[in-house]
Amino acid sequence: MSGATRSRAVDTAEADGDQQRRYLRRVTWVATLGGLLFGFDTGVINGALPFMVDDLRLTPVTEGLVASSLVFGAAFGALAGGRLADAYGRRRMIIVLAVVFLVGTLGTALAPDVTVMVTARLVLGLAVGGASVMVPIFLAELSPAARRGQTVTRNELMIVTGQLIAFSTSAFLGTVFGDSHGIWRWMLVLATLPAIGLWIGMYFVPESPRWLAAHGAFGFALRALQRLRPPAAARIEYEEVKALALEDREKDKAGIRDLREPWLRRIVVVGLGLAVIQQITGVNSIMYYGTQILVVAGFGTQAALTANIANGVISVAATFVGIWLLGRVGRRPMLLVGQIGTTAALLAIGLVSLLVPEGTARGFLVLALTVTFLAFQQGAISPVTWLMLSEIFPMRLRGLGMGVAVFVLWMVNFAVSLSFPILMDAITISNTFFVFVVLGVAAIVFARRYIPETRGRTLEEIERRFKEDAGSSVR
């Protein structure tokens, strides 16, 4: 049976699986608590940071360290997380991550000084980075091809929901209890609740059938698929997964030497490129420093906290739109439209910051442009990036490949989040955004030239397509 015929047969067999679809939805919502924690822990610093400045005696440099230390830890969490997920299983390692989330959250909430805060944020970053690799891989490997886009991008929805919850709770606590000493500690400690929920919930979900097959547990892989698919679809998909797993088991353990193969080198270039262009838009300058940006634009601190909720609301709404679009249009055009939209919004923010006098009018203009930026970023660029990173790597390199790509993503994120307050102080906010505009133009050029289309194919078909394209280019 050809790949296209097999894919159509699976989709037809899927038509009758209401019970299995409901079970897959439950599994998805449990696993994406990792995304909620990712979003909350990266977003909460936005509202907490202004209240930490006096308590922890922060300077622009230590402010950047507190914000970016989580991101630095996340880079190494992603790198190690991919390898660990390949070795010990997606489900088991997500359970471990839940514990690390809990420990890191308590450490930040109780931190007496900058040193402890940065250390605890590094630990928390390990969990965030691990979740950023393991959860999308886990969801991609559980999902049928026809619904993989919507299933995997629910994790992106949970990330932005976590950020919205962080912005909203921080605004409430900062506005109502802003004069209370150490209110930022209460902002941070709230993340313990989803961490506990993730830890408990993951005991009730199955392991990835593709990981089980890759480790020779074919009977367990079939049983996992039968819980997630109607019987006919489970059997068809199982045969395809088993065939590729047996083929991969005849090869040596995945490693750097695999890059001698042209098709794998192309995948790595695409993966690293996706990681870089998702971050050089400067999205996390807004997600981490949105409150400070609005203060510089002309809002007071408490008004900026409240106004910043708009960034979270637009992010969630845009992600819903992105999930809907992924079922109807290609990944590549979505990415290009998102890159063009974000670059135009950044140019406008820079011009407004340069030309409009400081005050409430400039504040509202900057706010309108940041939500426009986030509509393109969270509605197109971020969903496509996380989805494609979970799709493009072959099974035997999936954890390693995505781990390396997301390591690069987090390191670019780290560079942006560390340098942003320093750049604002040194060259003004408008010139800082002009730097992102130049980077955005480079991202558009890369996406147009190198990013392939993966919509409508199974993970196994995507792998075969990369091999065929490499063979054609060699000939």
> Quick one: which of 325, 328, 384 has its CA closest to 152?
384
Max Cα distance, the chain (Å):
70
Residues of the chain whose pLDDT is less than 70? 1-16, 178, 250-260, 287-288, 470-475
Place of tokens 């708009």: 310
pLDDT at 328: 83
pLDDT at 253: 57
Amino acid at 313: V
pLDDT at 120: 94
pLDDT at 466: 81
Check if the beta carbon of residue 188 is closer than 8 Å to that of residue 330. Answer: no
Check if the beta carbon of residue 228 is closer than 8 Å to that of residue 142. Answer: yes
pLDDT at 174: 84
pTM of the prediction?
0.76
pLDDT at 470: 62
Residues whose CB is less than 8 angstroms from the CB of residue 185 and which lie 6 or more positions away in sequence, other chains included: 109, 110
Report DSSP letters for 352-416, one per residue. Answer: HHHHSPSSHHHHHHHHHHHHHHHHHIIIIIHHHHHHHHHHHS-GGGHHHHHHHHHHHHHHHHHHH
Neighbour tally for 174: CB within 10 Å:
24
pLDDT at 257: 63
- Tens of pLDDT, residue by residue over 204-248, are 999 999 899 988 899 999 999 999 888 888 898 889 888 888 877
Alpha-carbon Rg of the chain, whole angstroms? 22
